Amino acid sequence: MAKEETAVQRTLLALIFLLSRSPLAMAFSNISPPPVLLAPSYPALGQSSFMPRRSRPSCASVVAGDQDARHFGVGFRRRRCGTSSSPSGLVMLRNFDLPEAVVFYGSDVAIDRGTMTAAAPAPRPGVVRLLDECAEVGTAAIVLTETIHASELEGMLRSAEAMGRRLEDGTLAVRSSLDVDCVEFPPEADDDRLPFGRGGIGHAPSPAALLDALSSVCVEPRGFGGSSGFGTKAADPPRPPLPKHAVVFVSGPSERSRARCSAARMAGARVVYVETEGMGSCDAEDLSDAVVETLGDEDDWEAVTLDGISTPGSYWLNPPNPRDDEGNRVNIEEVVEFFQRERVSDPEDGEMVNNEGDDFAANEGEMDEEEMNRILADLDSL
């Protein structure tokens, strides 16, 4: 009998022990759950060389249509928000790509429109600061115009001392779609089709002028680097900037702003729209990746920086793909060829001057013998 009682007691003690270790019992007891090990807090990393990233605000409006931003909640549809804090817990580190080129599409996005006729035009707020950042890290900067010749725009920019300095050291390049035939493309471009906008027909919404401008400069890409040599990859040789690593600034509203946004999207670049007439004046929000009121002064906490427009950055997570106004993927070469066919025409009478157009124009008013016989044969069968 004593042995049976001992066995029952042991069984009860075992059950009590097992129940005391269950999650339900722990929830109602003073026993603390095992500690959660958190990853150490790593500093923000720069591209390849892992230079410390500048503190950057997550300002501006991230436009609807960026699936990554909508999924992860990165500044989606927010304007003028504060600097975002780093989440606690486990964080995955990934490579961080600075822009290879920034393009100010239109002289009015780089220069205050009201001072263009002055003896010394004034740069827009934040432009000189961005140029200084580009010079520091080796990012190419281009001012692209479609309304005046490059020599005229260059003379205008040289009048502004700060921008003239960047013209001298080669950080800033000036291009115009009107005289692209005079541009000497670097050997690294290595494309017999250049210039795509030959004859001055590459203006927006065709991406040809933008592609020609990017192909006319050269950068030294940075390699991908990990700590202690882990996951390192050598840098590419010098080459023109890739459109997916280019950021295009467009100002508006104007008669060309929407077409320029469309051209940048089809070229495969990111688009930042600068509202020159205040918040809500953007006329191409559906074609822009971010909308800001200003690039920001040096002391402005909402300033647009190279870190902010990096990939990933304050406005997007991944490199873009060439896409049309509806967001559909497009083939850049086919888009350029389409605009070339549409625009290669005689400015006096509008007749096409290529072979296909000449043949069409010659046969438009008369019917050849072969076609006549084919029609008669069809009539006989009736």
pLDDT tens figures, 191-236: 888 999 998 899 999 999 999 999 999 999 887 655 455 555 667 7
Mean pLDDT, residues 183-195 taken together: 90
- Res 140: pLDDT: 96
CA proximity to 263, closest of 338, 202, 337: 202
CA–CA distances in Å: residue 195 to residues 174, 203, 209, 357, 373? 16, 12, 8, 22, 45
pLDDT value, residue 53: 43
CA distances from 247 to 102, 148, 307, 311, 336 (A): 5, 22, 12, 10, 20
Beta bridge partners of 246: 101
Give residue-wise pLDDT tens across range 92-151: 445 678 999 999 999 999 998 878 777 778 899 999 999 999 999 999 999 999 999 999
| The predicted structure's pLDDT at residue 372 | 66
At residue 87, the pLDDT reads 40
The distance of Cα 366 from the centroid of its chain, to the nearest Å, equals: 51
What rounded mean pLDDT belongs to the chain? Answer: 76
pLDDT at 161: 79
* Mean pLDDT (whole number) for 289-293: 95
Cα–Cα distance for residue pair 320/268, rounded to 1 Å: 6
Q: Would you give the distance in Å from CA 3 to the centre of its chain?
A: 81
Whether 295 contacts 125, CB under 8 Å: yes
Give the sheet arrangement for strand 290-292, strand by strand. Answer: 61-62, 290-292, 270-275, 246-252, 101-105, 140-145, 172-176
- Which amino acid is it at 286? D
Short-list 10, 234, 250, 212, CA closest to 106 = 250
In the predicted model, what is the mean pLDDT of residues 349-376? 48
Instruction: Identify the band that residue 253 occupies on the pLDDT scale cut at 50, 70 and 90.
Output: very high
Q: Which one is predicted more confidently, 57 or 377?
A: 377
Stretch among 31-40, 199-208, 241-250 having the lowest mean pLDDT = 31-40
Q: Return the pLDDT at 229.
A: 52
